[in-house]
Chains A and B, each alone.
Chain A
Amino acid sequence: MTRKKRRLYILLLCAIGLGSATALTLTAFQDNLVFFRSPSDIAREAPPPGRAFRLGGLVEAGSVERGGATIRFRVTDGASTIPVTFTGVLPDLFREGQGVVAQGVMRPDGSFAAREVLARHDETYMPPEVADALKRSGHWNPAQGAPPPAASWNTLTPERRSGS
Chain B
Amino acid sequence: MIPELGHFALILAAMLAVAQSVLPLVGAQRGDSRLMGSAAPLAIAGFLAVAVAFASLIWSYATNDTTVANVVANSHSAKPMIYKISGTWGNHEGSMVLWVLVLAACAAAVAGFGRGLPSALQARAIAVLGTISLGFLAFILLTSNPFERVWPPPRDGNGLNPLLQDFGLAVHPPLLYAGYVGFAVTFAFAVAALIEGRVDAAWGRWVRPWALAAWSFLTLGIAIGSWWAYYELGWGGYWFWDPVENASLLPWLAGTALVHSAIVVEKREALKIWTVLLALLAFALSLLGTFLVRSGILNSVHSFASDPSRGVFILVLLAIYIAGAFLLFAWRAPAMAPTGIFAPVSREGSLVLNNLLLCSICAVVLVGTLYPLFLDLLTGQMISVGPPFFNSAVAPLALPLIAGMAIGPMMPWKRASLWPVLQRLWWAACLALLAFVLSLAVAGWHVLPAFGFACAFWLIGGAAADIADRAGLGRTRLANVLHRARGLPRSAWGAAVAHAGVGVTLLGISGMGLATDHLAALPPGGSTQFAGYEWRLDGVRDATGPNFTARRATVTLLRDGRPVRVMEPSRRFFPQGRTTTTEAAIHTNLLRDLYAVLGEEHEGQAVLRLHNNPLAPWIWLGAFVMALGGALSLSDRRVRIAAPAAKRREAEVTA
Q: At the interface, yes or no: B341 with Cβ under 8 Å from chain A?
A: yes
- Among A1-53, those with CB < 8 Å from B are 1, 3, 6, 9-10, 13-14, 17-18, 20-21, 24-25, 27-29, 31-36
CA A129 – CA B372 in complex, angstroms?
Answer: 12
B371 (CB) vs chain A CBs: closest residue: A29
Whether the pair A25, B303 counts as a contact (CB closer than 8 A) is no
Quote the shortest CB–CB distance from B202 to chain A (angstroms): 23
- CB B107 to nearest CB in A, in angstroms, measures 32
> Which among B302, B344, B352 is the interface contact of A121 at CB below 8 angstroms?
B302
B547 within 8 A of A: no
| Contact residues in B for A69 (Cβ distance below 8 Å) | 519-521, 599, 607
Count of B interface residues, CB-CB < 8 Å: 60
- Contact of B649 with A by CB under 8 A: no
A-side interface mostly: mixed
The reply to whether the CB of B363 lies closer than 8 angstroms to some CB of chain A is yes
Interface status of B635 (Cβ within 8 A of chain A): no
Q: Which of B302, B352, B381, B392 contacts A31 (CB 8 A)?
A: B392
> A24 to chain B: closest CB distance in Å?
5
Q: Within the complex, what minimum Cβ distance (angstroms) separates A64 from chain B?
A: 10
Pick the residue among B303, B361, B607 that contacts A120 (CB under 8 A): B303
Which segment, of B109-117, B280-288, B470-478, B578-586, faces chain A?
Answer: B578-586
Which of B247-255, B382-390, B639-647 participates in binding chain A?
B382-390
Asked if A119 is an interface residue, CB under 8 A from chain B, the answer is: yes
Residues in B whose Cβ lies below 8 Å from that of A139: none
B386: contacting residue among A13, A34, A67, CB under 8 A: A34
Which residues from chain A contact B22 at a C-beta distance below 8 Å? none
**A88 and B382 contacting across the interface, CB-CB below 8 Å:** no
- For A83, list chain B residues within 8 Å (CB): none
Selected from B304, B368, B386, B582, the residue in CB contact (under 8 A) with A122 is: B304
- Residues of B396-440 contacting chain A, CB below 8 A: 396-397
How far, in Å, is A59 (CB) from chain B's closest CB?
14
Q: Quick check: is B367 within 8 A (CB to CB) of the other chain?
A: yes
Is B336 an interface residue, CB under 8 A from the partner?
Answer: no
Q: Assess the A35–B386 pair: CB atoms within 8 A.
A: no
Is A92's beta carbon under 8 Å from chain B?
A: yes
Query: Smallest CB-CB separation from B339: which chain A residue?
Result: A3
Given contacts A17-B357, A118-B301, whether A89 and B597 have CB atoms under 8 Å apart is yes
Q: Mask for A119-135, Cβ within 8 A of B = 1, else 0? A: 11111010111001000
Instruction: Give the CA-CA distance A89 to B606 in the complex, in Å.
Output: 10
A61 at the interface (CB under 8 A from B): no
Separation of A17 and B397 alpha carbons in the complex (Å): 9
| B520 neighbours in A (Cβ, 8 Å) | 69
The reply on A161 being an interface residue by CB < 8 A is no
Contact across chains for B519 and A20 when beta carbons are under 8 A apart: no
Measured between alpha carbons, how far is A10 from B264 in the docked complex, in Å?
15
Query: Are B299's CB and A20's CB within 8 A?
Result: no
Report the minimum CB–CB distance from A56 to chain B (whole Å).
8
Given contacts A25-B364, A92-B582, contact A119 B233 (CB under 8 A): yes
Rounded to whole angstroms, the CA-CA distance of A9 and B599 in the bound complex is 58
Partner of B397, one of A24, A36, A122: A24
Set A18, A89, A121: member contacting B519, Cβ < 8 A: A89
Shortest CB distance A69–B (Å): 4
Among B203-227, those with CB < 8 Å from A are none
Given contacts A20-B397, A33-B385, A54-B384, contact A123 B364 (CB under 8 A): no
For this complex, into which size category does the number of interface residues on chain A fall?
A: 35 or more
Q: Please, which residue of chain A has its CB at the minimum distance from the CB of B579?
A: A123
- The answer to whether B352 and A10 have CB atoms under 8 Å apart is yes
Option from A87, A122, A123, A125 in Cβ contact (under 8 Å) with B578? A123
Q: How would residues 116 to 144 of chain B score, 1 for a CB under 8 Å from any chain A CB and 0 otherwise?
A: 00000000000000000000000000000
From known contacts A3-B341, A24-B364, A66-B600, infer whether A121 and B234 are also in contact, taking CB-CB under 8 Å.
no
Q: Does B549 touch A at the CB level, under 8 Å?
A: no
Cα A90 to Cα B414 in complex, Å, equals 58
* B566 proximal to A (CB < 8 A): no
Contact with B along A78-118 (1 / 0, CB 8 A): 00000000011110110000000001000000000000001
A28 B519 Cβ-Cβ under 8 A: no
B338: which A residues are within 8 A, CB to CB? 3
- Taking the closest CB of chain B, its distance from the CB of A4, in whole angstroms, is 11
Which residues of chain A are near B521, meaning CB under 8 Å? 68-69
Which residue from B341, B383, B393, B580 sits with its C-beta under 8 Å from A35? B383
- On whether the beta carbons of B383 and A92 are closer than 8 Å, the reply is no
Report if B342 contacts A (CB, 8 A).
yes
Task: Give every chain B residue within 8 A of A21 (Cβ-Cβ).
Answer: 360-361, 363-364, 393, 397
A33 touches B600 (CB 8 A): no
Which residue of A6, A28, A120 has the most chain B CB atoms within 10 A of its CB atom?
Answer: A28
CB distance from A10 to the nearest CB of B (A): 7
16 contacts between A and B (CB under 8 A): A1-B341, A6-B341, A13-B353, A18-B360, A24-B392, A28-B388, A28-B389, A28-B393, A36-B383, A87-B519, A89-B234, A89-B598, A92-B579, A121-B301, A121-B302, A123-B579
Extra contacts, 18 of them, besides A28-B389, A32-B386, A66-B602 (Cβ < 8 A), are: A9-B344, A13-B356, A18-B360, A24-B397, A27-B393, A29-B385, A32-B385, A36-B382, A66-B600, A68-B521, A69-B520, A69-B521, A89-B600, A92-B234, A119-B233, A119-B301, A123-B577, A129-B299
What 9 A-B pairs have minimum CB-CB distances, sorted nearest first? A89-B599, A36-B382, A32-B389, A68-B521, A21-B360, A28-B393, A66-B602, A32-B388, A17-B356
